[in-house]
Amino acid sequence: MNNPLHFKPSLEDLLKSSIRSIFKNKSRTFLTSLGVIIGVTSVILLVSIGNGLKAYVVSQFESLGSNILFVAPGQVFNRNGGFNNNGGASFLATSFTVSDWNRLKRDLKTTAGYIIPVSQSPTTIKYLKNSVDTNILGTSADYAVARNQTPAAGNGRWFTSQENDKASNVAVIGHQLKLDLFGAAPALNRKLIVGGRTMKVIGVLNKIGGGFGGPNFDSFIYIPLITSQRLTGREAIQSFQIKINSTTDLEAGKKMIETSLSKRFKDEDSFSVFDQSQIIGSINSILNILTAGLSGIAAISLLVGGIGIMNIMLVTVTERTREIGLRKAIGAYPRAILLQFLFEAIILSGIGGIIGIILGSLGTLAISPFFPARVSLNSIILAFGVSFIVGVVFGVAPARRASKLSPIEALRYE
Amino acid sequence: MTKLSSVNQSKLPAILELRHITKTYGNNGNEFYALKDVNLKINQQDFVSITGPSGSGKSTLMHLVGLLDNPTSGEILLEGADISSLKEHELAQLRNQTLGFVFQQFNLLPKTSALENVILPLLYSDVPKTEWTNLAVTMLTKVGLADKLKNTPGQLSGGQQQRVAIARALVNNPKIILADEPTGNLDSKSGIEIMDIFRYLHDKEKRTIVFVTHDQDLARQAKKIIVIKDGQIQ
């Protein structure tokens, strides 16, 4: 007798025979794989969207430069690095004033490149018969330079610090706001009615884009901070963006800002100074949880797909009872039968996995012009690995049943 | 090879021997004897028919001769060696090397060409892959189907399908060809053709053939007839 460990047929022949029997029933193969196809497609799409959003957030903040510090009222972050649940409440409790701004400018004279105040409030803008509900963003002359948002040649200019000091009634409008109010007509030097005041348009911005779930800066009206305070009657600055000179350490800059603001705010919890890495970290941790949660839900359809494969494989084993009996009678040993049916299950889920990866990637490409989505190699490997495992897990039971059939019973089966 | 004091007058040595074989079904106290103390020898170049009424135990006997089942008691010797202690995969290998099966239902793989059906036993054998197609074509030519290599069972008549099955049984060059009601599903003309092939294989190729049938006329075509009744050889 030959070595019983010597395995016949070879894995290659087994695989070929599994592939052949699967493709004898193409429509069933497709329908069986459909569950896995849908599961893998949704996992890939959701992970791509999650990755895209993270990359988008990171790029948005990195475009500001890494040496920017943000100052906001209240405790923005909790001790774990996530966003503070009470952030909203404390955000309303305190706000900064022009004197805080001036004090910061004085205290950080040699440390800060610029200190930009931001004050945002809702408003209604009218031009002739057109009326648009949007947001005022009151800020300084530095804002345009810091954000790289200076109006292009022929589109006017940003306001100056003198105009800010004098609370001039001048306004720079976003790309979308210009279209909404003026359409194709020229906007420069036209007069708008903003909250009862007449303001002259001195600049139109290029399209900024972005703003997924965040503010739509293209619809904003940008006016000098002092003008906005006169307009709203509130002397409130919601936040500062401070550029620290490259010669100064970021942490040292933070300390100086905290010292400066502590002169007015006795409670150190009433404001926060943070850099972009903290924001990116917190947003990423939220997006990670969101992506994992959504992928988990999508993975349920993978599970359902796996059960579908098991169901069909059990039917197949019953249907092919005679074939199994014959193979055993002519010399197939249990392991050869087990592997043949296991391979069929793995191929079914593998086909589902590959089609799912293709569909998921195409879907990602299709939505990428409208949404920051990005296919990652990880998600492809993960999806393929999971569909492979689904094939093994849900293929074992039917394959074992096949391998255990007695050749006599199998041949007698009608 | 073990020499046996034989009641059989054949000069050629036994390939397969059943000694005091009993096969029962059911549990203690309620046993049904399918076979009772059966002794049987298949010698080289035998052409044996096993016949008997339905329920006589001839199928059970066939399964034991085909190494598809284990006896409740007794010994089965293949070329003198007891096989009762062999494991399932070892039995599978023995079946592959020594036996060729022909079934009443043909049992060809559907939607699969005659050629691939004949190659099937080679898949589980030690025959090098390079020889598979040649061997299968030779066997199909022998049964007169050289022009039907690519046909699937659905495109073949019953008689042709059974001939593919015979080619499949021959492809491993087995020591015994076992046929279970080989003409049971065929019209009489095809049945005669199949029996002609068996007779040719025995007469010209000196092959050992055992077939089971309930048909007395068919059974008489063999050189040796074993009649079984109520689990015992008559």
Q: Do B89 and A24 touch (CB under 8 A)?
A: no
Q: Which residues of chain A have pLDDT under 70?
A: 1-7, 64-65, 79-82, 84-94, 209-215, 414
Q: Where are the domains of chain A?
A: 11-59+283-412, 95-264
Q: Do B92 and A323 touch (CB under 8 A)?
A: no
- The predicted pLDDT at position B57 comes to 87
pLDDT value at B16 more than 90: yes
- When pLDDT is cut at 50, 70 and 90, the band that residue B3 belongs to is very low
Q: Which candidate, A121, A132, A220, places its Cα nearest to that of A174?
A: A220
- The predicted pLDDT at position B37 comes to 92
- When pLDDT is cut at 50, 70 and 90, the band that residue B163 belongs to is very high
Q: Do A333 and B93 touch (CB under 8 A)?
A: yes
Q: Do A334 and B89 touch (CB under 8 A)?
A: yes
- Is residue B128 domain-resident? yes
Query: Any idea what the Cα angle at residue A296 is, between residues A295 and A298, rounded to 5°?
Result: 60
| Antiparallel, parallel or unpaired: β B14-25 and B32-43 | antiparallel
Closest-CA residue in chain A for B121?
A330
Calpha distance B138→B116 (Å, rounded)? 13
- When pLDDT is cut at 50, 70 and 90, the band that residue B6 belongs to is very low
What residues of chain B lie within 8 A of the CB of A331, using their CB? 92-93, 95-97, 121, 124-125, 172
- Is residue B212 domain-resident? yes
Q: Which CATH number do you get for residue B63?
A: 3.40.50.300
Interface test with B, best of A11, A18, A330, A333 (most B CBs within 10 A): A330
SS3 A189: coil
- Is residue B1 domain-resident? no
ipTM of the complex: 0.90
Extract the tokens encoding B74.
């007794």
Those residues with Cβ within 8 angstroms of residue A406's Cβ, 6 or more apart along the chain or in another chain: A325
Question: What domain range is B209 assigned to?
Answer: 47-67+94-233
Closest-CA residue in chain B for A14?
B123
- Which chain B residues touch A if contact means CB-CB below 8 Å? 63, 66, 68-69, 87-90, 92-97, 101, 103, 105, 107, 109-112, 120-121, 123-126, 129, 168, 172
Q: What is the pLDDT of residues A256-265, one digit of tens each?
A: 999 998 888 8
- The predicted pLDDT at position A92 comes to 55
Those residues with Cβ within 8 angstroms of residue A410's Cβ, 6 or more apart along the chain or in another chain: A321, A322, A324, A325, A326, A328
Number of structural domains found in chain B: 1
Q: Which residue has the higher pLDDT, B27 or A345?
A: A345
Q: What is the pLDDT of residues B185-231, one digit of tens each?
A: 999 999 999 999 999 999 999 999 999 998 888 899 999 999 999 98
pLDDT value at B10 more than 70: no
- Is residue B13 domain-resident? no
pLDDT value at B61 more than 80: yes
- Is residue B38 domain-resident? no
- The predicted pLDDT at position A383 comes to 85
pLDDT value at B1 more than 60: no
pLDDT value at B7 more than 70: no
Q: Which residue has the higher pLDDT, B93 or A93?
A: B93
pLDDT value at B168 more than 70: yes
